[in-house]
Amino acid sequence: MPSTPTEDPRGVEAFDDHDFYDEEHRRHPVRRALGCLLPLALIAGLGYGGWRFYEHTRDNWGSPTCQVRADTFVSEWTPEQAANASTITVVGTLKRGLPDHAATIALTTAIQESKLRNLTYGDRDSLGLFQQRPSMGWGTSAQILDPVYSSDKFYSAMLKVPDWQTDSVGDVAQSVQKSGFPDAYDEHVDQGRTLATALSGQVTEGVGCRLDAVTGTADPAATAAKLTAQSGVRGTVSGSSITVSAKSEQEARAVANWAVTHADSDKVTMVTVGSRQWQRLRGEDGLVWHDAEQPTSGSTVVRIDF
């Protein structure tokens, strides 16, 4: 806190209280104004400095984060969780051609079962994103720990549930999983729907990630193969870029979102769709899209740069 200015004792002795007040007000209006403003300026400066310190700390020391937005809902996830959510989504909507509602059911289930983490442990022999059990016929341990395989197996089981398109999300999830906590899925429906809406490309610029700088060497060919394995969509590799010509704007957005959410693991530095671009940045700018430096040829063309 700023200290209160004190009067020079020698100056006080030259005046009585009344004369001193008159003299000060008559001769030093600027000094009085400064005396009032300086403490306020100091407080404002400390406040601004504190905010800048917070921003610097958040942008440079906070954990890498992915933000998913749809309508008025916003949720934040680790890059690992976001990548798994995107994989679950594109396996259903792009590779299998299922409606977005199917992805909502799958994502809601995975949030409850594993918090969107590909777990190597669980209750009894449960494993993976959906906590599927080898002993119950879901596959081998290695298969279940493959997010593409486990997602595909979930959708296959879901399609066998009568009225899965019209029953409540929680009821369908329970019919597939047969959980000991049948009502728990209902708690995550809003999150599951937000993820499905954004990651399937229903909304524009629904995903952004603030990430650390790339370390190591990227492998564009491996990422292109991974994209095809998960979504069925093929891209063309040229140097340090992958270009995808999507069938629709929604598919282009879904592919772009897949690339952004896998940017941390696959060392992606930039994703461009038409005139808009996501860039790998450490600060808050990594959570949003910007005007593209080098636009693609159209709104259905995606370029993934490494």
Q: Where are the domains of the chain?
A: 9-61, 65-305
Can you give the pLDDT at residue 77? Answer: 99
Strand ordering across the sheet containing 73-77: 73-77, 65-70, 207-210
CA–CA dist 221, 183 (Å, integer): 43
What is the per-residue pLDDT for 50?
61
| Amino acid 60: pLDDT | 66
In tens, the pLDDT along 32-67 reads: 554 555 556 556 556 666 666 666 565 667 899 999
| Model pLDDT, residue 58 | 59
Please give the Cα distance from 252 to 276 (Å, whole number): 12
State the DSSP code for 73: E
Q: Which pLDDT score, from 0 to 100, does residue 33 have?
A: 52
Beta bridge partners of 44: none
Tell me how far apart the alpha carbons of residues 80 and 116 are, in angstroms, rounded to a whole number: 8
Q: Looking at residue 223, what is its pLDDT?
A: 99
- Of 227, 243, 249, 235, nearest to 294 by C-alpha is 243
The answer to whether 172 and 106 have CB atoms below 8 angstroms apart is no
- Compute CA 127 distance to the chain's CA centroid, rounded to the nearest angstrom: 25
Summarize pLDDT for 70-88 with one digit per residue, the tens: 989 999 999 999 999 999 9
pLDDT on residue 98: 99
Q: Low-confidence residues of the chain, pLDDT below 70?
A: 1-60
The whole-number pLDDT of residue 305 equals 99
Provide the pLDDT for residue 62.
83
Give the C-alpha separation, 102 to 169, whole Å: 9
